[in-house]
Amino acid sequence: MKKRVFMFGIHNHQPVGNFDHIFKETFNNGYLPFINILERYPEIRISLHYSGPLMEWIEKEDVGYFDKIRRMVERGQVEILSGGFYEPLLSILPEEDSIGQIRMMTGFIRERFNYDPKGIWLAERVWTPDLSRIINLSGMKYTVLDDTHFFYAGLNHKDMFGYYITEKEGYPIAIFPIDKFLRYSIPFKHPQETIEYIKKSVADYNFDGITYADDGEKFGIWPGTYKWVYEEGWLEDFFRTIKENLYWIEMLTFSEYLEKYPPSGRIYLPMASYEEMMEWALPAHVGVRYEEALKELENKGMRERLKPFIRGGLWDNFLSKYPESNQMHKKMLYVSKKARNLPNLFPRVTNNEDRTEYYKPDPLLVELYKGQCNCAYWHGLFGGIYLNHLRHAVYKHLIKAENLIDKRYCKDKDWIMMEKIDIDADNHNEILISGGEINAYIDPDYGGSFFEIDYRPKCFNLSNTLTRREEPYHRKIKLPNGDTHTNETISQPPSIHDIIKKKEKGMEDMLSYDWYLRRSFLDHFLGEGTTLQDFMICSYPEKGDFIRNRYEIVEDETIKGDGREIRVILRRLGQIHENGVYREIEVSKGFSFPQKGAIINSIYRIKNRSPEELQLWFGVEFNLTLLSGDDSQRYYFIPGIELKEERLNKSGEAIELKEFGMKDEYNKFQISLSFEEPTAIWYFPVETLSQSESGFQRTYQGSVILSHWKIGLKREGMKEISIKLEIKEI
C-alpha cells in the first residue's frame, strides 16, 4: 500500500513589546507542554517555527527548552523554519530589511540548534509575487501559504496537495498549500476526524502529500484549549492516533518532502493572505456588506463554487483604514532609509550558493528590525493596533534606532534641524523637526497639526494615540446580552473564529466615533452651549473649518544668535459659520524649537477678517499619551492644586490655569503646557472598544487636553495666545 504524506507545521509567536506575564502564561500553557508531549512521540515528525521575540525570551528564561528541541532536531524528528526574525510582514519592508531579518533568523537557528533551515514561515501568510526573489536571495527554498492563495490563482480543491514552484525574475521557491479543513479542525475536532478526512481525500484525489500548518497558540493558549488539549488529553490522543495509522501515513518535514517528491506544477499567486485577514482589511462599512454577501452565497449553496472569485481587501488596505498604521509604517521606512545612508551596514545581497552564513546585524539594525514586528500595524481577531503597548514598542525601537543613527552624525547633545519631506507618502510635504531631545512632525495639510512628538531620551512617542472609529463587530456589542453568551456546554472548544464575544455591562453606551484624527495643536471654534460631555463624545457644533484643512507655510527658517532654534509659521484664512452665515477668520500659529531641551513654543494670532465684531470660543486641542489610564504613577497635575480626579482615565475641567500637565513617575518624565494668559481646561481619556481573542475590551488610547478661551474681536481685531509645551525628566 502506497503511503500518503502528512506534513505538520506549527508557528509560535509573541510580539515585540508584549507583557512579560503574557510570555510566561503562553509558555507554560502552550509552548512547553506541547514540546514535552511531542518529545515522547519520536514517530511524529514536525516542522517548527518560533519568532525571534519568543526565542529570545525562551533562551533567557528556560535554556532547557532549546535543549529538548535540539535533541529532536538531531534525531531527525524536527526541522526548524527560518523567517523574518522579529516577525515582520516582508511585503511591506525594503528588500535589504527583509533579507537582513531572514539572515538574522537563519544565523540564530544555526548557532542554537546546529541546523540549516531550508524554508521560512511567512508572517500572516501575506504574499506578494516579488517575495519569491527575496526568499530565494535569503538562501531559503520554500514557504507555506493558505490554500486560499491557490484558489485565487484558479486552482481547485483537487489541486491543493504537495507543493508548487513559483519564481520572480528567475529566482524560484517552492510553496506548500495549507489545507483549510485541517486548519479549522486541528485541535478543535476529535483526532479520528482528521484521519477520516485524510482517508477520504486520498480516495477522492489520490495525492502524495497534504499540509497542515498553523498557530501553536491553538494548543493551550486560545480560550478553552488548555483544558481540551492537555487536561483532557487531545494532543496525546492525536499523536497516538497518527502513530496507529503510520502503516499508511508517512510523516515528513517540508524539506524532506521537497527532496523526495517532484512539484505538483508551476503557479503564480496573486497578492493575498488568509481569508479572514483579507476580510479584516476592508473598510468597516464594506466589511459588513462583505460578511452579509458571504452568508447569502452560503445560504444559496454557491460560496464554494464561487470561491476563486470572492475575496476581501489586501493587507495594505490597513494603511488607509488606520492612518495611525500608515504613520508607523512610514516612520519605519524613514528610519530604515536613514540607516541605509550609513556605509556597510546592511548585508550584501548576492545570489551565490552559500547564502546561509551566520549574520549578526549591527545593534541599530536590531532596533530597526524590532520596530518592524507586524502585530501593531493591523487589527482583526486579535488586538493589534488597538493595543497601545504594542504600538509603543514599535515607536520605542524605531526611536532607539534613530538615536543610534543620529549619534553617528551629531556628536553633540544639543542640536536641532528641519526637513520638509513627504514622510507619509501622500504627495504633500510634512515638516520634520529633529533634535537631540525631541522629534516634532507637523502636517500643514491637516490643520497644521502635530502627528508625532517624541521625547528622545526616553524613546517615547507622546502622540501614539488612536482615533475612535467604527468597526464591523461593534454591531455585536449592541446586541442584547442574551445574544452574546458563549456556549460552554459543548465537550470541545470552538475555533476562535466561531466564538461569540462576551461584553461587559453597558459597553454599548461607550461607543463614540471621532470625525477627525486625534492629533495635537488642533484649532477649534466651538459653538455656543458646547459642554465637556458633548466634546468628549465628539457631538458638538464645530463652527470653524480649521481642523482638517490646509495651513499655508508662511515662514520656516533657522535662527542663529546666542542660541540656535528652528522657527515655523503656518497660516490659514478660513471661515466660521453660524446660522448659515460665514465669516472670515485668519489663524496664524508660529512654532519655535530651541536646540536645547524638548520644548515647543507657540504663538497664536487670531484675526477677525469679517466686517463686524465677533464673539468667539477658541480652543487648542492636544492628544497625548503616557500609555496607562489607570496607574497611580501616571497622572494629571496642576502646580499648587490637588486634583480630585488625577488619573488619566478620568475627565474634568478647570479654569484660570497657567499650567497643566501629565506626569509619568514610572518613566521619570513629565509634559507641561504653560499659558501666558490664563486658560480654561477640559481633559478626558480617549478609550476604544475592540475585539480580541478573549472578548471585547476597552483600551485607553490617550488623553485629550483642550485649552480654550472666549474672546471678542472687533473688525480687523487680533488676539494673541502663547502656549509652551515642554517635556523634561523628573
The DSSP code sequence of 175-223 is EEEEPHHHHHHTTTS-HHHHHHHHHHHHHHH--SEEEEEEEGGGTTTST
**Length reported for the chain:** 730
> In angstroms, rounded to a whole number, what is the distance separating the alpha carbons of residues 438 and 416?
9
Among this protein's residues, is 483 annotated catalytic?
Answer: no
The DSSP code sequence of 106-142 is HHHHHHHH-----EEE-GGG-B-TTHHHHHHHTT--E
Give 631's DSSP letter: B
Other beta carbons within 10 angstroms of residue 403's beta carbon come to 16
Of the CA atoms within 13 Å of residue 146, those in its CB half-sphere come to 24
361, 298 in Cβ contact below 8 A? no
Q: Exactly one of 79, 97, 124, 430 is catalytic; name it.
A: 124
Among this protein's residues, is 87 annotated catalytic?
Answer: no
> In angstroms, rounded to a whole number, what is the distance separating the alpha carbons of residues 565 and 599?
10
52, 85 in Cβ contact below 8 A? yes
Helical (H) or strand (E) element with 38: helix 32-39
Tell me the angle at which helices 323-340 and 388-409 cross, rounded to the nearest 10 degrees: 20
Burial class (CB in 10 A: 0-12, 13-18, 19+), 193: middle
> In angstroms, rounded to a whole number, what is the distance separating the alpha carbons of residues 463 and 359?
35
Q: Exactly one of 25, 116, 193, 215 is catalytic; name it.
A: 215
- Bond preceding residue 187 cis, omega within 30 of 0: yes
Amino acid residing at 43: E
> In angstroms, rounded to a whole number, what is the distance separating the alpha carbons of residues 6 and 98?
30
Other beta carbons within 10 angstroms of residue 309's beta carbon come to 9
Q: List, by residue number, the catalytic residues.
A: 124, 215
